[in-house]
Every structure is written in structure tokens, then in C-alpha cells.
Amino acid sequence: MKLEGKTIAILIASRGTEEPEFAQPRDALKDAGAKVIVISSKTGTAQTVNNDLDPGGDYPIDKVISDVSAEDFHALVIPGGSVGADKLRADKNIVAFIRDFFAAGKPVAAICHAPWALAEADVLKGRKVTSFHSIQTDLRNAGATWVDQEVVTDQGLVTSRTPDDLPAFCAKMVEEFAEGRHEEQKASV
């Protein structure tokens, strides 16, 4: 169990997070021995989607963003979905939470549209990333070098493009989270 003893935060929008981008990383982390805490802006249940439009499942929220700190966790996962990612980046508390992971040198994994939230947190300057192709200009404008690869790792930051990349994304995420802090992560804050 590579992640035994580690507590990982995973963000979810109250509505609109892409289900496989939430469920598969969550399950991979649990399978690796991590304790996973689901965090959102609101209490209750989050409703996911499939392909941005089709209904997904309902998932219980463990904690609200106002009750947690980056200090409570070893790493952070940000799932995509265009609607869910947009809701996450619009919440100033979530953006501050993300930024705090970078300031502490803690690893972060973001897939699909989730790097939008990284751009909002202003942590992409000088970073190499990938994402869903339609947001590449946003990420470049935020200071990142965007590449079209299934998974990109840059000093504790793991990014992928789409649900098709989930096997590579989950494997690299577990590996980076097992490594722990990356002091170089702080350079982008």
C-alpha cells in the first residue's frame, strides 16, 4: 500500500463534476491505502455527470471547504467536467485551498477542465501541463507550457487530458502522492 497513512483531499462541485474523473482517482487512491476526503462548497450530496450532459451518480460530501485546510492533507485531486471545474474555480475558498497546496509543496493532480482552477489560483507560471484541448489557451495565458500528452508530471503536479487518460493519470497520481512534498512546487506560487 503506497499511500497508507496519507489523507488525500478530492474536490467535487455540488453539480457538474465528471463522474469517471472523480470516481476512478478516488478508487485508485483508496486501493493504494489512502484515506480520501471528499470536499465541496456545500454539505450533502454532489451530483456528477457523464460527458458533461448526462446524469451521473450522487456522492456524499465529507467536508465543506470552510472547515478544512491544506495542512490537513498530504495531496489534492481536482476532477474535471467543464461545469464542475468552472464552479470550483469560481469559489474563492476553493481557489485559496488549491493555492495553499502549492505554497506547501504538496502534490496536486488535475484532469480535463480542472486546470482552469489552477489558472484561477495563479499557480501555473513556468509549469508544463496538459488538459482538455479547449482550455489550452487559458492555461498558456496563465503562464503554463501546454502539451498534448496523456499525462504530464511537473514537480508534483500531475495533469491529464480526458477520461481516456485515467489509467495513466491514476498511476502517475499515486506515484507522485507517494513521493510526498516537492519543494519545487512552491516556485509557482
Task: Catalogue the active-site residues.
Answer: 112
Residues 6+ apart with CB under 8 A from 94: 11, 41, 65, 88, 117
Question: How far is 41 from 53, CA to CA, in rounded Å?
Answer: 21
The C-alpha torsion from 93 through 98 and 103 to 106, rounded to 10°, is 140
Helix (H, G, I), strand (E, B) or coil at 14: coil
Angle at which helix 92-103 crosses helix 82-89, to 10 degrees, equals 80
Name the phi and psi angles at 117, rounded to 5.
Answer: -65, -30
What are the DSSP calls for 36-90, one per residue?
EEEEESSSSEEEEEETTTEEEEEEE--EEGGG--GGG-SEEEE---HHHHHHHHT
